[in-house]
Amino acid sequence: MKKTLLITGGAGFIGSHVVRLFVNKYPDYRIVNLDALTYAGNLENLTDIENFPNYTFVKADIRDASAINEIFKEHQFDGVIHLAAESHVDRSLKDPNVFIETNVLGTANLLNAARELWKGNMEGKRFYHVSTDEVYGSLGDTGFFLETTSYDPQSPYSASKAASDHLVRAYGNSYHLPFVITNCSNNYGQNQFPEKLIPLFIHNIQNNIPLPVYGDGKYTRDWLYVVDHARAIDLVYHDGVNGETYNIGGFNEWQNIALIKLLCKQMDEKLGRAPGESEKLISYVKDRPGHDRRYAIDASKINKELGWKPSVTFEEGLSKTIDWYLQNETWLQSVTSGDYQKYYESQYS
């Protein structure tokens, strides 16, 4: 094997797409997927590659420093792609501490383990931290987030991600740890847990449950198909420059209500419903506290320097996403039973 690579959070939404891409594309890399399998982690996401000879799964919690140190000693990683995190803003508003523990302390544990393992020779090593555009805060009607935009996180989730970004840069500066960071916009696609807007609303439309639109529905997000994010991560891991940050985005801004109407239209067509039927489910509800008004990424750096751009249009990606959820009802049913119901009631009742 040429390299041993640790991917954290590989049983989650984006992580599973990254694991699949690397396991298939690099048969000479040993890919170790480390995940605690929280409510958001699901090994069902990876059944197609679970028996590949270059793939190993390790169940572990990044909050457990001694377990992480042991795993680094055992596997002698050459590189880390760190995605494990608590990732949902609404949950961070209800229970911030687990976000601080996993996103901040968990990242620090990985940085310490990498620093210890690589201390004699950092040549060819790389710590890749996967982060979010939410660290930049909220935009007005115009403008874009650049890599140089000041941090201004507004929720416990984004504050914990911002803190972890700062730690990664500090380890680069203080200990010469070779790192790259990417800050990406909203992802969508198959295997996303149905607490996030698109899969939640697909599930609700299918089951004739009201669609809870926060506030006036005029909040704006920049949407990227998850497979294109995984392609960008592959490119940055291999060709990115140490110490650099790259913004990743879809060049694809949508006001929530416009996106929801497009989703309803596509769902009507796919479910054989009369035009306008699903839109009747739209229900404006109390706003998310501290709701960021608009995110929009300027992704020209990764485009110019590394030649990356999205390959899937939004209409095409959304259609593929809906098809996947409609064809994978068992997956959706298994993740929406049990604790999901309790979460749904506490969030929306």
Q: Residues in the site for ligand DAU, rule: CB under 6 A? A: 87-89, 132-134, 185-186, 196-197, 200, 212-214, 219, 221, 256, 288, 295
Q: How far apart are alpha carbons 306 and 251 in whole angstroms?
A: 16
Least distance to ligand NAD, CB of residue 318, Å:
15
Q: How far apart are alpha carbons 172 and 170 in whole angstroms?
A: 5
Query: 128 to 187, contacts with ligand NAD by CB under 6 A?
Result: 130, 132, 161, 184, 186-187
CB atoms within 10 A of CB 53: 9
33 binds, among ligand DAU, ligand NAD, none (CB under 5 to 8 A by kind): none
295 binds, among ligand DAU, ligand NAD, none (CB under 5 to 8 A by kind): ligand DAU
Angle between helices 314-327 and 197-206 (to 10 degrees): 50
Token pair for residue 135? 């660290």
Alpha helix ranges (H) inside the chain: 13-25, 65-75, 89-94, 96-99, 107-117, 156-175, 197-206, 226-239, 256-271, 300-306, 314-327, 329-335, 339-348
**Comparison of 67 and 209: residue with beta carbon closer to ligand NAD:** 67
- Nearest alpha carbon to residue 193 among 305, 44, 315, 61: 44
Least distance to ligand DAU, CB of residue 221, Å:
5
13 binds, among ligand DAU, ligand NAD, none (CB under 5 to 8 A by kind): ligand NAD
78 binds, among ligand DAU, ligand NAD, none (CB under 5 to 8 A by kind): none
294 binds ligand NAD (CB under 6 A): no
Q: How far apart are alpha carbons 245 and 169 in whole angstroms?
A: 10
**Comparison of 35 and 292: residue with beta carbon closer to ligand NAD:** 35
- Enzyme catalytic residues: 133-134, 157
Least distance to ligand DAU, CB of residue 212, Å:
4
- Nearest alpha carbon to residue 163 among 225, 215, 99, 221: 99
| Residue whose beta carbon is closest to ligand NAD | 12
Least distance to ligand NAD, CB of residue 194, Å:
11
91 binds ligand NAD (CB under 6 A): no
Q: Which of 7, 54, 61, 231 binds ligand NAD (CB under 6 A)?
A: 61
Angle formed at CA 89 by CA 86 and CA 92, multiple of 5 degrees: 65
**Comparison of 132 and 252: residue with beta carbon closer to ligand NAD:** 132
**Comparison of 29 and 251: residue with beta carbon closer to ligand DAU:** 251
DSSP string, 102-171: IIIIIHHHHHHHHHHHTTT--TT-EEEEEEEGGGG----SS--B-TTSPP---SHHHHHHHHHHHHHHHH
Considering only 37-45, 203-211, 300-308, 322-330, which stretch makes contact with ligand NAD by CB under 6 A? 37-45
Strands 220-225 and 253-255, how do they pair? Answer: antiparallel
- Secondary structure letter of residue 263 according to DSSP: H
Least distance to ligand DAU, CB of residue 133, Å:
5
**Comparison of 79 and 278: residue with beta carbon closer to ligand NAD:** 79
**Comparison of 78 and 228: residue with beta carbon closer to ligand NAD:** 228
Answer for the pair 348, 96: CB distance below 8 angstroms, yes or no: no
Least distance to ligand DAU, CB of residue 257, Å:
9
- Nearest alpha carbon to residue 128 among 159, 160, 172: 172
55 binds, among ligand DAU, ligand NAD, none (CB under 5 to 8 A by kind): none
Contacting positions for ligand NAD (CB under 6 A): 9, 11-15, 35-38, 40-41, 61-63, 83-87, 102, 106, 130, 132, 161, 184, 186-187, 193
